[in-house]
A and B are shown apart, each in its own frame.
Chain A
Amino acid sequence: MPLIEFSDKGLYCRQGNFYIDPWKPVDKAIITHAHSDHARWGSKYYLCHHLTKPLLQLRLGDNLYESVDWNEPVFMNGVKVSLHPAGHIIGSAQIRVEYEGEVWVASGDYKTEDDGISGAFEPVQCNTFITESTFGLPIYKWKKQPDIFEDIKNWVAQNKENKKTSVLIAYSLGKAQRVLMPLSEMGLPVYVHGAVWNVHQALVNSGWKLPEVKRVQPDTPKEDLVGNIVIAPPSADGTPWMKNFYPYSVGTCSGWMQVRGNARRRNTDAGFALSDHADWDGLLQAVKATGAQKVYATHGFQSAFSRFLNEQGIEAGEVKTEYGGEEEESKTVGENEELIIKN
């Protein structure tokens, strides 16, 4: 029996009787990170990293949470479980599972470039590696973060010159905090959508020092926004809420912006291929660093990525999971954002 099984509720460790990022309610859930497609409602017990706990509380309300530090082992029926930085967003973890000398690692979502806020990805040696593959094609090779930040700053400056508001579309947890860093260097006021505001407050309350932002209120005068910046989640793109800021220019921060067709479909004015997922080289580098004899690729281009690994002599299979929300153009993301605003 494999140490981790792929069940219809999620990744399941029978020996330890726990699930990793289950998409249905279970007794014990270990959560890699607080994005809605990985952290779902309804389980009786959640284990996560200290940094993730306040975010889960924000998104899932009161539940039984237990949190641990990096590499702090927890034993569940003889199975040793520990969390290791995944570099995806604040608090994001890879889950290492060890039993009788066999080690499996479930990556959750990860990126290998250190963005300065999400923790540096830590390669973990294992026998079996379950990896995401959101951007598992060689067309996805990211520019370095400082270069993309430079592009974003130039775009904002250009908009300011044209007396337009820069509306940056960024996922409220992760991307929004990440783009805030370069933007705050520009000395312009940064306004945020309610969903971004809520995450921002939760992080500030748990001790994060983040640049100051202002929440867009119904009575925020339009003149205050001209030439300045608004950060909004994908669900706000194209809504009447956003149209109030006219004249504006929309910039979308997402790995999918690497391909022009996607940017055109979104009707965005500027696409920035800024992703919280590993690019092709990052995925390969991560897989190789684990030294794993067996790799399972999930959510993304799993079929192409696993075929490529097999051709490289790394035994790989593909697994269907129900992850892959926040960088997809999926409806569930939007619905979640709406919920947060109402709360």
Chain B
Amino acid sequence: MKQFAKLVNILGTSTKTNDKLQALQDYFEVASDQDKVWVIAIFSGRRPKRIINSTILAGWCLEIAAIEPWLFDECYHTVGDLGETIALLLPEQETQNETGNEHTLSYYLQTFIRIEKEAEQVKKDFITSSWQQMDRNEKFVFNKLITGGFRIGVSQTMMVNALAKTVKVSSSIIAHRISGNWDPATTSFDDLLSETVAATDFSKPYPFYLAYAVDEDLDKLGEEDQWQAEWKWDGIRGQIIKRNKDFFVWSRGEELMTEKFPEYNHFKDQLPDGTVIDGEIISLAAPADESVFKPLPFAALQTRIGRKTITKKQLTEAPVGFIAYDLLEFEGEDIRYKSMEERRQLLERVIAKTNYPALHISPVISFNTWAELGVTRTKSRDMGSEGIMIKRKSSPYQSGRKRGDWWKWKIDPLTIDAVMIYAQKGHGRRSNLYTDYTFAVKDGDKLVPFTKAYSGLTDKEFAQVDSFVKRNSIEKFGPVRTVKPELVFEIAFEGIAASNRHKSGVALRFPRMSRWRTDKKADEINTLEDLKEMLKIYNQQGVVEATDL
């Protein structure tokens, strides 16, 4: 555990990617195979189930440290991380456990699994006695393993790259082998990385190919006829897999979502075995006519995800379809090496044979010049899309985010000017700094809160706003400060939907601060009327002509 705690410490404090990569490599060199498997699992989102909720965990800490709940809360809001707060509050042991009887990372994680269904007292005994054997750094890591959200500045890609260097296999192969359905508790390091196992795991998805945003003149991309343009749909990127008569749906976050979309059950029968399709999981209005589809705002899909059981009402109000982008496996063969043009032809054949109205192929946008495409792009929002994808016709299907062949050209966001009314301290590197704000628009002489936003400002701007909040707070409600409504920000967002969960009646998609309007006063901000007008305009989307096949 000390070894792993040291790794996490380096990963969490290092400011350079190379240092992090080196630290991971060093760890993989010395760690036991079993611990390595767990580290791969942790950094690819496969932690064991949470065995205890945060409130109970915090309660045990209160008991041991003998402090009142309010004081714990003060500490938590200053530290901005529950696991770290607990590690800092627990008493340090005078004599540390000698390395001789130190437990391994695997030991702790496997014990979590073993006692998952046991009584609370069993968990308490295990956790509190573990604390007693650890230094502060280990306690922090241990608590993070319990509370989840192991976000410490390491991406799955970085972990894959380090692993690739250690075992001397290319990173795209590693990425594929560690994807899919495997259980760290029962998988050995050799099995995980061996080819034969990868071949027999029928659920295994391919790593997604992701695009970069267009950052230069489109003319530099060269001849227009080398490229294919499609709409960029706003759902969840997903992969549907039919292999060995079995059917799987994976999200880009490598979450297995097969059960969430009963609509897809039909694919199971209709898709030929040995088929893997990349596309968008998206809510589509029930089609009156099979040749058209009408995407619903992301908010509709949101009512479906995160639910364990899906009601009939949800199925009717937010039916889910699939818009196919690409074909990765055809007749059991991995065809990612083929050109996109070839893959597209095969994809069209597969879709044409599938008689299911909610499965569409992503229509190709015809254009002759980049300028013409630019004009089409301005209609994205009417189509219910968030911009345009530009893909090189000769491109293979790569893994991860790569430059050069695929580009996304998103539309400019919607914006509205609003005033900050509440502030709360942030987390992680923003701990003890007011960085999470709530914004309001005007409604007559009242201010109506309508969104929160946490990002978009520079560190320096955050420091300035933080100091404003500290000097201008009116009231304190727990961690939230009411502040003098004075600072005006331009809030940018990707979409707007009606919501009865918010006082304002609207919910925004991806809100962030695009500009600090130091030139504007609080009485010059937008009104609730303006927001409602936007809602009206952007929820009357048109329908998309499905490509004629």
Write out the residue numbers on chain A whose beta carbons fall within 8 Å of the beta carbon of B429. Answer: 261, 264-265
User: Which segment, of A88-96, A301-309, A333-341, faces chain B?
Assistant: A301-309
**Do A261 and B432 contact each other (CB < 8 Å), given the known contacts A138-B65, A269-B14?**
yes
Q: Could you say which of A140, A260, A308, A329 contacts B13, with CB atoms under 8 Å apart?
A: A260
* A308 CA / B68 CA spacing, docked (Å): 9
Give A137's nearest chain B residue, CB to CB. B75
Q: How far is the CB of B94 from chain A (nearest CB, A)?
A: 11
Interface string of A299-343 (1 = CB under 8 A from B): 001001001100100000000000000000100000000000000
Q: State the Cβ distance, A22 to closest chain B Cβ, in Å.
A: 21
Which of B15, B68, B430, B431 is within 8 Å of A311, CB to CB? B68
A contact face: mostly helix, strand, loop, or mixed: mixed
Query: Which residue on chain B has the smallest CB distance to residue A267?
Result: B15
Candidates B65, B74, B84, B92; contact of A304 at CB < 8 Å: B74
B196 CB, min distance to chain A CBs, angstroms:
41
> A261 with B92: in contact, given A301-B74, A311-B68 (CB under 8 Å)?
no
Given contacts A264-B12, A271-B13, contact A138 B75 (CB under 8 A): yes
CA distance A259 to B84 in the complex (A): 8
Q: Which residues of A contact B505 (CB under 8 A)?
A: none
Interface residues of B in 61-118 (CB under 8 A from A): 65, 67-68, 70-71, 74-75, 78-81, 84-85, 88-89, 92
Q: Is the CB of B15 within 8 A of A139?
A: no
Task: Name the CB-closest residue of B to A258.
Answer: B88
Count CB-based A-B contacts (< 8 Å): 72
CB neighbours (8 Å) of B332 from chain A are none
Please give, as numbers and ranges, the residues of chain A lying within 8 Å of B431 by CB-CB distance.
259-262, 265
Contacts of A264 in B (CB 8 A): 12-13, 153, 428-429
Interface string of B406-444 (1 = CB under 8 A from A): 000000000000000000000111111100000000000
CB-based nearest B residue for A256: B432
Interface residue A270 (Cβ < 8 Å from any Cβ of B): yes
A267 to B88, CA, bound (A): 21
Instruction: Give Cα A139–Cα B428 distance, bound, in whole angstroms.
Output: 16
Is there an interface contact between B428 and A262, defined as CB atoms closer than 8 Å?
Answer: no
Least distance between A147 CB and chain B CB atoms (Å): 11
A270 to B79, CA, bound (A): 18
**Contact of B459 with A by CB under 8 A:** yes
**For the complex, is A141 an interface residue (Cβ under 8 Å from B)?**
yes
- C-alpha gap A308/B74 in the complex (Å): 11
Q: Mark A122-164, 1 if CB is under 8 A from B, else 0.
A: 0000000000000001111100000000000000000000000
Please report the C-alpha to C-alpha distance between residue A138 and residue B140 in the assembled complex, in whole angstroms.
Answer: 16
Residues of chain B within 8 A (CB-CB) of A268 are 13, 15
Is A56's beta carbon under 8 Å from chain B?
Answer: no
Q: In the complex, what's the smallest C-beta–C-beta distance from B122 to chain A, in angstroms? A: 28
Does A263 have its Cβ within 8 Å of any Cβ on chain B? yes
How many angstroms between the C-alpha atoms of A23 and B85 in the bound complex?
35
Please provide the chain B residues from 8 to 44 with a CB less than 8 Å away from any CB of chain A in the complex.
12-15
A308 to B, closest residue via Cβ: B71
* Interface pair B432/A259, CB less than 8 Å apart: yes
B71 touches A262 (CB 8 A): no
Complex alpha-carbon distance, A339 and B132, angstroms = 49
The CB with the most chain B CB atoms within 10 A, among A261, A263, A264, A265, is that of: A261
- B12 close to A139 (CB less than 8 A): no
Binary flags per residue of A240-278, CB closer than 8 Å to B gives 1, else 0:
000000000000000000111111110111110000000
CA distance A265 to B432 in the complex (A): 11
Q: Do B85 and A139 have beta carbons less than 8 Å apart?
A: yes
A307 to B65, CA, bound (A): 18
Question: B140 — which chain A residues lie within 8 A by C-beta?
Answer: 260
Q: How far is the CA of A329 from the CA of B15 in the complex (A)?
A: 19
Q: Which residue of B lies closest to A139 (CB)?
A: B88
B277 CB, nearest partner CB in chain A, Å: 40
- Whether B79 contacts A263 by the Cβ 8 Å rule is no
Binding site for B on A (CB under 8 A): 137-141, 258-265, 267-271, 301, 304, 307-308, 311, 329
Contact residues of B with A, CB < 8 Å? 12-15, 65, 67-68, 70-71, 74-75, 78-81, 84-85, 88-89, 92, 140, 153, 427-433, 459, 463
In the A-B complex, the 8 residue pairs with the smallest Cβ-Cβ separation, listed nearest first, are A261-B431, A264-B429, A139-B88, A265-B429, A304-B74, A139-B75, A261-B429, A267-B15
